[in-house]
Structures are given as structure tokens and as C-alpha cells.
Structure 1
Amino acid sequence: MAAPFGHGQLKFLKALTEALFHGAEMAISADQVVANVAELFGKVGGTKLEEMRVSLAATEFVLGPMFSEVGVATRVARIEDRLRDSQIDLFQDMGRLRGIIYACYYGHWLPGGEDQNVGNPVHRQIGFALPKFRARGPGEMPITRVEGREIDPAHILDADSLDDRYDVIVVGSGAGGAVAACNIAAQGYKVLIVEAGPFYPSPAITHHELDMIARLYKHGAVQTTTNRDFVVFQGRCVGGSSTINNGICLRVNEEGRTHPDALDVLAKWASIGAPVDRAAFDASYDAVQAKLGIARIEPRSGRHNGPHLMNGWHAYAATSADPKDARAVADWFDKNFGPSGTPNACAYCGYCNSGCAYGRRMGVAQTYLPEACRDHGARILPGTKADRILWQTAYDGRREAEAVRLVLPDGSRRIVGARVGVVVAAGTIASSKLLDRSDIDGTGYQVSLNVASPVVALMPEGVGGNAWDEDQMSSYVDCGDFLLESHFQPPMSMASLMPGWFADHAARMKNYGRVHSAGVLVPADRRGQIDDGKLKFRLDTQDDLPLLRRAMATLTKVHFAAGAIECYPALAKGQKVTPDMDIDGFFAAAIREQDDVTLSSSHPHGGNAMHENPQHGVVDPACRVHGTTNVLVTDASVFPSCIRVNAQWTTMAMAHYATGRGDPFR
């Protein structure tokens, strides 16, 4: 593999690393951090590597002449002036390079596995223990592997074993594609599932975060919007995002689980021309629940941050004058991690977002995909991009898909015929790009995000146990307009979201075991579009930004109600908040534009919206592309408006709704 960066860029990265750790003790050298950065982007490669090279050159220019030659204190002063405290959008975007540097320090991994990393110096510095070395007593779940759930490698194809024609080609193996593929294969069709990412079964997954992030995420988990204000997390592997998510399963507007004043999502869809049969959709939710064993998680799995959020909410709501707060729902998540109460339930190692190494997550790669292949003859082709759908004209004048042009792992192209039809389920961005390349008009518009941003809280000494010894996400509060969700991350991921600069960031990470964390989930409805293959997204200053400020202020107050000493919202400047401050006033001043806060989303949806009228949507209410006879879209890109909750279960239900109630091609 060629070196991803030149000598000058490596020198600049080292100088930047030394500055970002100024005043802090480093457990590994700056050279090792730079090596980790190079390894990460060497694995990611492609356009993201090119973007990183450009970003490094631009950042070096902005930080002034001879940055690598001046003293560290001078470098720090330049960073403070031009990156940390700047109000210039471009400079703020460059300032997010700090998260990559910190991730590549705290994500350091010694060669080998957990045994070889028992003495990992960075883990030792922050008091973290890998799952294998955690003490589990009576009543605890042992951290062991569950066997027998994985896809048989014999069902994974390569170019030599690929046939020239299949009945149905399904593009994408994630939540929408896997459900559709299984249902269609069960109809007796010969199904090919095309996946752009690699096949990575549970036994191949490790706790080497940097390695897993590079291999299992699109663009190594540093995919951003065009303005670089949002990081968009999407899986790129067999199983898609269901392989690297937290398993959260929420229905839209479920009684008792949703705030009673929350927007009725399906009613809104109907009002804008996209009616869905509510009873049939609920039945699709039920079918997915039965397949995945979706159930309420066990409180022991989220014993630190889970009760912290719920107890803090109850204490906060008891003093709130807003009647909506009294009607909020605070509860444990439902998940496909189990089922609960069985020997195969979640072992709460905390590494959900880098893949379950124990085969315990009932993702689509452990349920729908093995069943589709084992019982119904479907086959999976990984590492392959669907470049274009090829058309012929049907008897009634509509377009009919006859083949898909594929780009194989070696870069060669091959046309594979589709005798019956094509299903597109590659996710909001990739599905929009594929349909656009296939001459489908109107794709990629009105994309919605559930916008996430964390607030970290420092707890008093001796409160509870190690906050990292649990499931990553375990409880939530539905406040009506937004959600609060507990979370905690392994070292690399936590470091990248931990606000702060220089010695402040290091000090906060040294308190790793006694910080609690949660995030806001704010719906941003139809604000984005796919522009030249990338997501362009901007929050509305009149509606979205005030809601984001209110949500983050509320979560900060909840942390304090739970006993926090100080809070660290994910602000670009890294400020801290204390209980004696005017919290609402602080956020009003601190968040003037979206650049001022770290924002992300794991739930992009829309772009190929469902609508009865082809002038206003890409697919009809049966998820068939308007003007075609045999092309379906069965992922979250068909959602006509923001669903406001985590998208996994609803995406699977939509795929089942489109394909699980009979033959969708008849």
C-alpha cells in the first residue's frame, strides 16, 4: 500500500499533534499518533483520502508560515486564534481535524488482539479495561461468543461464481435490502444481493476501533455533508448499518413509548400525498419484531448512563413549569440485542458501533440474510458497486429494468440481467445516486436528518462504577419536539466527541470512568439534497437552531439534576457549563450558527420520497419507482418526511410493507 501522506504532510500532522496535546502527558509519541492517522486513511483511501490531503494543505496554510518550525506555544496560539475561536466557517471546519487527531491517539492499538492490549498505555492512562478483562460476577452476562448465526461463507459470491442473470437483483444488504431480499427470495425468485462493502462476520470483528471503523463504515466514519458541518455515519459492509449500530428499535408514534404531543408521522405522510395503511404497517413492525427478537433491554446492560438520564429527567421534570415535560416518556430502549433474559442476550461490552464481536446482536446479517441464503437460495456479492440500471421498454410504454451494470472489486464492469426486477436499498445517499445515474428524475431531494449532538457531564468522585462498563445506548426521553438518548463510547469514539482542546481535552479524558454522557436527537425535516453525489444540508435558522439550543440546554439541566458537577456540550470552542450559569442564555449565545456545534446523524432519510403523484415523489405508495414496471426502493430514502426517531426498525418495516405482503412484482 502506498503511503497516504507525503513527508511534508506527516511533518505537519506531527506538529499539529504536539500542539493539540500541549500541557498534557502523552502515553504514546506524536509520531505514533501520526502513524495511526496514516494507517486509518490508508485503509479508507478513495475520495476521502484525497479530501484529507487537501484539508491538511489548507489547514497548514491557514495556520501560517513555518508552523512545523515554530515553538509549540506559538502553534497553540495560532490554533486558538484561527481554528478554535474563529467565526470563519472554513476555519471552523478545519478545526474539526482535532477530532481525528484525538481519535487516533485514544484509538491506539498494539499489534495483536485483546491479550496483547491488556497493557495498552492509552487505556491504562484513562483507566479503561477491554471486555475480556472486566470482572463479571453473579447475575452478570459473560462476555462470550454466540455461535451459529452467521452467513455461511459458501453463500458469498465472487466474480468467478457470479451468474449472468438472476430473477431479482437487490442493491444493498442493510436494513431495507436484507428484509426485501429475504421476502422476495421466499417467493421462489433467484435473488442476487449486491453490497458495496466487505463481508465481515462477527468472528472477524475485533475491538480495534480504528481498524473496524475504517473497514465497516462508509468513508471510515468521516463522511460529511458538503459544508462539512455534519458527520453522517453509515455502514458499508454486508448487513449495512445494522452491523454497526446500537440496535435501537422505536416505532413511530407507539402508544406509551412516544410523547403524546409528538407529531403523528403517518398522518403527516398521508396529508402530503403519501398514505400508508397504518394497520398493515403495524403488522410489518410486528413481523420484524418477531424475526429479530426485539424487546426491552435489561437494565443491567445500561446500568450507569441509562438510569443517570432517566433519574435526571424525573428530577428535572418535577421542577419544570412546562406541562409537556410532565407528559414526556422516559424508558429503556427496545433493541434487537438478545432476546432479553436469555443466555444469548447482549453482553454489554460497549462496542456496538464498531461491530458485535460476539454474534449476539440480531442484525440482518444474523437473521434475514442467512435465512434468505440458506432457506431460499439467495446469494451475496460483496465489494461490488451497482453503477447503473439498464432499461428496456415494457408493453405499456413504461421503463422496465432488464439488467444492472456492476463494478466488481477489481474495477472491471459486468452487466448482470434481471429477469423479474430490481430492488434499490443502498441508503439515502447511495440509492439517490444510483437512481440518478439510471436516469430517474427528481431523486435526492428533501432529505431529512435526525440531528445528534452530545453533552458530556462530569460526576463527583466515587459516584457509581466505571461509566464505560455497559451497553453504548440504553435509555431515552421523548420530550415531544426532540429526544434525549443516553450513550457512552469506547475510548476512540469518546475522544472524538469529547469537547475541548489541548490540556482541557486530556483532563476530561482522564476522567473517562466518571463522566456520563447523553445526546440530543433533533428532527430536521426535509432540509437537504444530494448534490453531485454528496449530501448538502443546512439547518433552518428560524426553526431548527432554536430547537437545537433548547434541546441541548434541557439535556444540560438534566445532567445537573442528576448530580453533575460540570457539563461539556459539543461546542466547537469546547466551553464548559456549570450549574450556577444561565444555561438558556449560554446556549443562545454559544450557538449562533450550525458551525458552532458538533453535529452528526446516523439516520439520513428521504431523497426518493413516496408520493401518489409522480410530480411530487420518486416512488408510489407501494414503493415502486414511478414510470417503471419492476423497480422498487425499500430503504429509508422513501420516507416522505422526518420520522423523528431512530430509523432502523421503521426502515425494516417499510421494506416488509413493500415486499412481505405478497409478491411485489405481480
Structure 2
Amino acid sequence: MSKLPDPFRAGIERGWKTTDGALGLPEKITCDVVIVGTGAGAGITAELLTKAGLDVVLIEEGPLKTSSDFNQKESEAYAQLYQEGGTRATLDKGITLLQGRCVGGTTVVNWTSSFRTPPTTLKYWQEHFGLKDFNVEALAPWFTQAEQRLNMTDWETAPNANNEILRTGATKLGIAAHVIPRNVKGCWNLGSCGMGCPTNAKQSMLVTTIPAALEAGARLFHQTRAEKFEIDNGEVKSLQCVGVTINGDRVNDKVMHITAKHYVVSGGAINSPALLKRSKAPDPHDLLGKRTFVHPVAFSSAVFEQKIEGWAGAPQSIYSDHFLYTQAIDGPIGYKLEATPIHPGLTSKLLGGMGAALAERFKHYPNTQMMLALVRDGFHADAAGGEVFLKLDGSPVLHYPLTDYVLDGFRRAFLSMAEIQFAAGAKSVLPLHEQAAHYTSWAEAKAGIEKLDMKSQLTGAGSAHIMGGCQMGGTAEQGVVKPDGVHWQLKNLSVHDGSIFPTSIGANPQLSIYGIVNRMATQLAKRLSGKDVVLA
């Protein structure tokens, strides 16, 4: 199996137009379309718009790092490739938030799980947000194109032990578990997806759509932050950008002004609503930044007699939706079960404890398995998500309260995961909760978990799935943007990323972004150029 070449090195040698904002920016540029961000929504949009012959400029706050830089070291990856060096969290620090901040965005560091938007989620959007054309049949061809473009197929290699335990335990309990589709090609099964793929097997925007756009003439500015739009009379007049260091500090006082026919915001949930807030974008119905969802995640570790070595092999390849569909969508909160890769840095957080307690837990590291539960927020009044605010310096922060309703889901998830882990042969199970202990039997775990005080800070929580804040709606009262992604009050601005979702997805969201933005960007390309283009 051969390592795929680094497309950026060869492309830059051929003359791709890339500029490091930390080294200086021009004062003014013009283009047909400027896209803020280079992640899932931005990449799809950039490829389609350049296919239509449009002059496209991409703005990325993070650095340009490629497979030549990826070395499977957590110490470098978190600092260089993640928002706030991997320390982004909600306002009260109750939920750790993992988001990418580099060329390619979160697609560079995600774990490759690829699910279409569940039919139940689409039905809810149709019924509650006026999104009449968001149904399984209407979206199917757009998902199919994205799946083919990004090589999304069921993972055919045998799961690593970390994932197999989920399937083994679930099967013994009569719970269905399935193989996860992944967007990889020629995967080496290294397991370091969260640190950037060193072999270019992961079909992220870094090796697919962004190179395609650059090859077609797009211009890329990295380490360049979009500060704000200049808005007048229902239109965006220009975008102001500044050069930044790798940690986000401004390089100097110089500002680059970009004038375009159309502006696309694809900075991701949290950053996209923050940019519109800094720009004082119209928000007549007080929706901007509200209903921001995260799939709050509960974790459970287990120690086995045999070695697990959960740092090796595809990070996620088995899942169970059993607990998503055992109650009504607006009833007790549901959750999706998956496995968590356990690299040392990440594991030090997910095992809980510190000092001697953490050291004791790490003695069992090679024999530890980790499971997670993605909680499906956004479908109940007591899981209405959070809100993006601006700090005094204009940077964003998400306030997301963990309500009793959500934390009840965490308790049930702890119980489900522990039962599955014991059914698979675990010697002991440890939920991520300050009051939890290593339970040595299912009966002991059940009794112990029922006694836990389910409160923020005591209950460990994280998320890598941030959605909402610029939600779609069939009317201006229901959404920040229209069903085609165009802002309800700004006719030359669109939002193309996960911030457009009016609820959480209930599954890993990358394919939902790819498929839905594929339709939006194709429509935008036709509107701006008159040309029909296809993602291929």
C-alpha cells in the first residue's frame, strides 16, 4: 500500500495561488465570490463555484498544514490544527469542544464517520421549520454525489478491539450494531485520524475539493481572519480581513478589504454566527447565534483482561442507534453509541481524575476500552441548545447549559454503555463522572450510576459536533437563512456549513454538511454564472 502524494506541495510548485497572512496581505482584492472557511461546506462550495468559472477567494484563519507536516503527535496536532489549541470549551467549561482550525477545517481532524441525515431529523425540520423540500427523496441524489466524490463506503477491514467490543456486547444483549461508512481511500489503518492523515487516505477537503478549486484558479489566504463585513442597504459591500499568527494573534494593524459579488460564510458553527454578530448583520427575529447544538457526549471506559490498544486502527467503525429509536424523537433524549479512540493525551482527559488517581487509571491503559454516547439535542424545549456570544475582543464563546433533561440522557447512556461493556467481558467499568468509581459488576455499576449527582462539572462532557446558530427556516421568522442558504435580509450573502442546521443531526454531521451544501452551492453556481455544474 503506497502513500498518496502531498497534493499541496506539487500544486504550489505548479503555481497555486496561496498566501500566508502572517507574512503580509494586499490592501484590496476583488473577486466573484469570497468564501470564509475551508472546511466541509467551504470545500464543496469552492469546487462547484470554480467549476462554474467563477473567481473564488478562500479565507482561512488557521494554518496550511499538509500530510508532509502530520506526524501522529498529539502535542503538535492539537496546538496547530484545532480551535484554541484544542482547549475550546463552553462558557462554564462544562463541555470541551473539538473543532478544526486549519486549511480543510474539521475534515482534517475528524474520525471519518459518514452518515446521511436521519429521516426522523428531516421530518422534524419539515414539520417545525418550514423546510418542505428537505426529505429523504429530495436529498438522496445530493448525498450520493458527495459519497462518490469523497469515497464514502462501509469500512470493510475488521474493526479494532476498541470497536469490536461495542458490537460484541451489544449483540449479546440483542442490540443491533452496524458498520460505519468512512470517507477514506487506501487507508493504512493507523488510527491517527484526529491528528491529520499522514498518508492522505482520508478524503478531507485538504486533499479533495480545496486542491480542485486551487487547480481551477481559486486563491487561498491562510492565517487570515475574517473580521467583519461592511453592510449597507441590505447588501454586503466588502469583507475586512487581517493576518494572524498560528495562535490567532493579529500580526499588525493592516486590513485587507475584499470586494465580491457574493459572500459565503463557512466558518463553522460558533465562528459563523460570531462573524455575523461582529458585522452587526440584520437579525430582526433575534435568531442569530441561538439554537447552537453540540451533541453533548458522555463517555465510559472499561478495563479488560486482554489488550485493547485502542490507539491503533480505524478510530470509529461500529455504531448502534438502538437508543436513538427506543422513544419518540421529542420524548426522553436519545443517543447514538460509538467507540472513542484512546490516544494518550485524549485519554488523560477522558479517564478523569488527576495526579495519583489518573496515574493509577493509566496502569490499565493498554487494556482499556472507551465508548461514547452522542446525545441528540434540539428536539425538546429542555434541549434547546446554547447561544454564541462575543467577548470584549470580538472572539466567540458558546454558552451551553447542561439541563436536567440532557443529563438524564447522560445517566441512561452511562447505564447502557456499562451494560454493554460488561456483556463484552469487562473486568471493571468507569463512567466519566467525578463521583464514579471502577465498578466490577453490572449490578454494582447500575446501583452506583443511579446514585450519581448529574450536574455540570461533575459529569464529564465533550463534543466534536457543533451545529446551528445560523439556522435555516422556511420563513424569516423561522431562520437566519433561507432553505437555499441565502441570508434572509442580505441578498448577496449565504451560509454554507453546519451552523445552518435547525437541530442537531443525531449522527456525525459531516455528510449532512456535504450533501445539503452540495445542493445549495450548485444552486448558487447556477444563479451567479448561469452554468450547471455537478460535484464529481
Q: Tell me if 1:233 matches 2:233.
A: no
Counterpart AA for 1:336: N
Q: Give the superposed CA RMSD.
A: 1.9
* Aligned-partner SS, 2:123: helix
Q: Distance in 2 between matches of 1:216 and 1:587?
A: 36
Tell me how far 1:507 sits from its aligned partner.
2.8
1:449 to 272, 276, 294: 294
Taking the TM superposition and a 5 Å limit, the aligned residue runs for 1:276-295 are: 276-278=133-135, 279-295=137-153
Taking the TM superposition and a 5 Å limit, the aligned residue runs for 1:63-142 are: none
Give the match for residue 336 of structure 1. 183
1:350-382 deviation per Cα after TM superposition (whole angstroms, max 9, x unaligned) = 2111111121111011101011111x2111100
Q: Tell me if 1:403 matches 2:238.
A: yes
Give the match for residue 649 of structure 1. 511
* Aligned-partner SS, 1:596: coil
Check conservation: 1:474, 1:487, Cα contact below 8 A. no
* Aligned-partner SS, 2:434: coil
Give the match for residue 181 of structure 1. 46
Cα distance, 1:487–1:580 mapped onto 2, change above 3 Å = closer
Give the match for residue 618 of structure 1. 480
Give the match for residue 526 of structure 2. 663
1:154-202 deviation per Cα after TM superposition (whole angstroms, max 9, x unaligned) = 3312445786111110000001111111111211110000000000011
Check conservation: 1:559, 1:567, Cα contact below 8 A. yes
Tell me how far 1:545 sits from its aligned partner.
1.5
Tell me how far 1:389 sits from its aligned partner.
1.1
* Aligned-partner SS, 1:558: helix
Q: Distance in 2 between matches of 1:162 and 1:172?
A: 20
1:393-438 deviation per Cα after TM superposition (whole angstroms, max 9, x unaligned) = 3xxxxx1222101112323343433331000010111100111112
Q: Distance in 2 between matches of 1:417 and 1:157?
A: 14
Give the match for residue 210 of structure 2. 369
Taking the TM superposition and a 5 Å limit, the aligned residue runs for 1:109-508 are: 145-150=3-8, 152-153=11-12, 154-158=16-20, 159=24, 164-253=29-118, 264-275=120-131, 276-278=133-135, 279-300=137-158, 302-317=159-174, 325=175, 329-338=176-185, 345-374=186-215, 376-393=216-233, 399-409=234-244, 410-440=251-281, 441=283, 442=286, 443-460=288-305, 463=306, 466-479=309-322, 480=324, 481-508=334-361
Q: Distance in 1 between matches of 2:228 and 2:181?
A: 38
Tell me how far 1:489 sits from its aligned partner.
2.0
Tell me how far 1:588 sits from its aligned partner.
2.7
Give the match for residue 35 of structure 1. none
When structure 1 is superposed on structure 2, of 516-525 and 466-475 the one drifting more is 466-475
Greater RCO (CA < 8 Å, at least 6 residues apart): 2
Cα distance, 1:150–1:304 mapped onto 2, change above 3 Å = farther
- Tell me the number of residue pairs that the alignment of Structure 1 and Structure 2 aligns: 489
Check conservation: 1:183, 1:659, Cα contact below 8 A. yes
* Aligned-partner SS, 1:567: strand
Q: Distance in 2 between matches of 1:517 and 1:191?
A: 43
* Aligned-partner SS, 2:361: helix
Tell me how far 1:467 sits from its aligned partner.
3.9
Give the match for residue 399 of structure 2. 536
* Aligned-partner SS, 1:427: coil
Check conservation: 2:274, 2:389, Cα contact below 8 A. no
Check conservation: 1:252, 1:650, Cα contact below 8 A. yes
Q: Distance in 1 between matches of 2:397 and 2:25?
A: 33
1:442-472 deviation per Cα after TM superposition (whole angstroms, max 9, x unaligned) = 3100111211122111001xx3564433222
* Aligned-partner SS, 1:610: coil
Cα distance, 1:664–1:297 mapped onto 2, change above 3 Å = farther
Check conservation: 2:427, 2:440, Cα contact below 8 A. yes
Counterpart AA for 2:399: K
Q: Distance in 2 between matches of 1:613 and 1:457?
A: 48
TM-score between both structures, scaled by the size of structure 2: 0.87
Give the match for residue 248 of structure 2. none
Check conservation: 2:307, 2:366, Cα contact below 8 A. no
Cα distance, 1:429–1:371 mapped onto 2, change above 3 Å = same
* Aligned-partner SS, 1:632: strand
Counterpart AA for 2:239: V
2:493 to 618, 631, 634: 631
Percent identity between the two aligned chains: 24
Q: Distance in 2 between matches of 1:455 and 1:337?
A: 27
Cα distance, 1:280–1:150 mapped onto 2, change above 3 Å = farther
Cα distance, 1:503–1:437 mapped onto 2, change above 3 Å = closer
Counterpart AA for 1:217: Y
Q: Distance in 2 between matches of 1:558 and 1:656?
A: 38
Name stretches of at least 5 consecutive residues in structure 1 with no aligned partner.
1-141, 255-263, 318-324, 339-344, 394-398
Q: Distance in 1 between matches of 2:271 and 2:104?
A: 15
Cα distance, 1:306–1:371 mapped onto 2, change above 3 Å = same
Check conservation: 1:182, 1:371, Cα contact below 8 A. yes
Q: Distance in 2 between matches of 1:465 and 1:611?
A: 46
Tell me how far 1:600 sits from its aligned partner.
0.6
* Aligned-partner SS, 2:291: strand
Tell me how far 1:582 sits from its aligned partner.
4.3
* Aligned-partner SS, 1:188: coil
Q: Distance in 2 between matches of 1:562 and 1:180?
A: 44
Name stretches of at least 5 consecutive residues in structure 2 with no aligned partner.
245-250, 325-333, 379-383, 391-395, 531-536
Cα distance, 1:608–1:286 mapped onto 2, change above 3 Å = same
Check conservation: 2:310, 2:342, Cα contact below 8 A. no
